């Protein structure tokens, strides 16, 4: 699917206005569904939203970004807090917030233990046991195990 043509189609069908700029996929987006760039009128969209939630939810995200787009070029309130934006978003049935994406598995936890006082240390990053020692008794640290969380 050509994203720019899809956004143009949604703009004509749902807003009755033309979209004159480019729309791109942006894999680096994490917590947002899309972005509008007022300087050049470009729209970026998160491909993970489309993959995880389907076309219906993605279309609502496109409507949200098009609200920003059209209101900006009409010199009306295009920001999230503006009344014009809230009213137009409700009128076209756009999403106010992007749905939460499922997260990647969280990082591993490494457990180190002091040979002298048996204090345990939980870390996300490896410790050089030759360089560092126990913070309580200055005893030698050893690697015990790795947990997946």
Which one of the listed residues 13, 18, 51, 65 is annotated catalytic? 65
Task: Write down the pLDDT at residue 31.
Answer: 87
Domain covering 3-92, topology: Zincin-like (3.30.2010)
DSSP state of 44: E
Q: For the whole prediction, is pTM greater than 0.75? A: no
Please list the ranges in the chain whose pLDDT falls under 50.
none
| Interatomic CA distance for residues 103 and 88, integer angstroms | 31
CA nearest neighbour of 64 among 30, 93, 41, 100: 93
Task: Write down the pLDDT at residue 149.
Answer: 62
Task: Write down the pLDDT at residue 102.
Answer: 75
Task: Write down the pLDDT at residue 104.
Answer: 62
| Interatomic CA distance for residues 101 and 42, integer angstroms | 23
Task: Write down the pLDDT at residue 148.
Answer: 76
Distances (CA, A) of 52 to 11, 24, 82, 122: 23, 18, 30, 33
Task: Write down the pLDDT at residue 146.
Answer: 87
- For the question of residue 65 being annotated catalytic, the response is yes
Task: Write down the pLDDT at residue 147.
Answer: 83
The domain segmentation of the chain, as residue ranges, is 3-92, 109-147
In contact, 33 and 45? CB cutoff 8 Å: yes
């Amino acid at each position: 699917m050509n994203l720019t043509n899809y956004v143009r189609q949604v703009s004509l069908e749902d807003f009755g206005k033309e979209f004159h700029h480019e729309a791109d996929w942006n894999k680096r987006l994490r917590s947002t569904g899309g972005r509008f760039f007022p300087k050049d009128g470009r729209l970026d969209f998160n491909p993970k939203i489309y993959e995880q939630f389907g076309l219906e939810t993605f279309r609502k995200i496109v409507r949200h970004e098009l609200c920003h787009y059209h209101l900006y070029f009409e010199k009306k309130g295009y920001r999230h807090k503006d009344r014009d934006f809230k009213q137009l978003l409700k009128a076209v049935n756009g999403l106010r917030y992007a749905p939460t994406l499922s997260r990647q598995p969280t990082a591993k936890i490494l457990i180190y233990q002091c040979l002298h006082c048996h204090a345990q240390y939980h870390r996300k990053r490896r410790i050089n046991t030759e360089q560092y020692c126990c913070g309580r008794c200055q005893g030698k640290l050893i690697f015990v195990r790795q947990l997946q969380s």
